[in-house]
Amino acid sequence: MKDGSEDYCAVLRVLPSAEQEVITAAYRALAKKYHPDTHSDDALAERRLKELNEAYEVLSDPSRRRKYDEARSNGTQGTGEFREEEAEDDDSDALATDWAVACGFFPVVELHRKSLRALSPQLAIAYQIHLLATKDFGKAAAIRDAFERQFLERYFGQGVIVCDVARGLLLANKRDVARKLNQAVRVVRPGDRDQFTFVKSFAASNGIDQFLLLQSVRTEFLSKAVSAGNLGERIAVEISRGTYIVKVGGFFGSTHFFSETGFRGFAIDVLSGIDPRRAAR
């Protein structure tokens, strides 16, 4: 592979900003897991170890790392294939003792690990390796968010709406649907402006209730979508003291007030094709 054609940071389960000490710690922990002494005659382990070695060779070489980082910033890397081994149990006894000590001082990091493990066991161990190597326990929440974002963007593109849908599928343990979504993203590569159209088309082509998919999308993106002006009605959304004020139809239209939960229901109804005036009732 040419440097940059593969997401080596994702292979080693490190953030793009990872320092060399983190890269080395991740490589050692994962290489130990997939070493032939542990997995004899295991084709998957052999392939993973080869990928780890290749990734480490690039990321530990300053010149090749620089070229790789440039490829990342230029967006030349494609969306990765969501493979079944993402769901494999990847707990490591080698980390257990040190992790237990860390959790004694910072209990919240175990909650973070569990939330990442719901997406991918390998993602959770990457989080452990990073924190134990950097000692950045005070930034644990931000680091968790960064790992989650990197994981979702690797397999489902950089569209926040599609990534939200994917996250919801994985947390609901609907990994078969998530794999189909990954395949659709790799083939179609939806742009930022047509993400909702993509999600609706994906739902229709796979016999899935689009309402259930849209439930995972964050409220801020639902708000932007219904205000985009391409739903047949002019819709304006304002937020005041936790209340969502929705104006449908411009100056002579109607005004409606929602809690966040009520607004989410309205927005999802509208994005699913229901007339805004009817959805607001």
Last residue of a domain, one of 153, 176, 202: 153
CA distance 149 to 135: 21
CA distance 97 to 161: 38
Q: Are residues 27 and 139 in the same domain?
A: yes
Per-residue pLDDT of the chain (281 residues; tens, 9 = 90+): 444 457 888 888 888 888 898 899 889 888 887 887 777 777 888 888 899 999 999 999 999 998 888 887 765 555 777 765 554 544 456 678 899 999 999 999 999 999 999 998 888 888 998 999 889 999 999 999 999 998 998 889 888 889 999 999 999 989 999 999 999 998 988 876 678 888 889 999 988 888 888 888 889 888 888 887 666 678 889 999 889 999 988 667 889 999 999 999 998 888 877 888 888 87
Last residue of a domain, one of 153, 175, 193: 153
CATH number of residue 129's parent domain: 1.10.287.110
Q: Which residue range(s) make up the domain with 179?
A: 165-214
Q: How many domains does the chain have?
A: 3
pLDDT in the model for residue 76: 52
Q: Are residues 225 and 209 in the same domain?
A: no
pLDDT in the model for residue 4: 46
CA distance 272 to 196: 9
Q: Are residues 99 and 133 in the same domain?
A: yes
Q: Are residues 31 and 148 in the same domain?
A: yes
- Contact yes or no for 36/50 (Cβ under 8 A): no
Global pTM exceeds 0.85? no
Structure token digits, residue 205: 């082509």
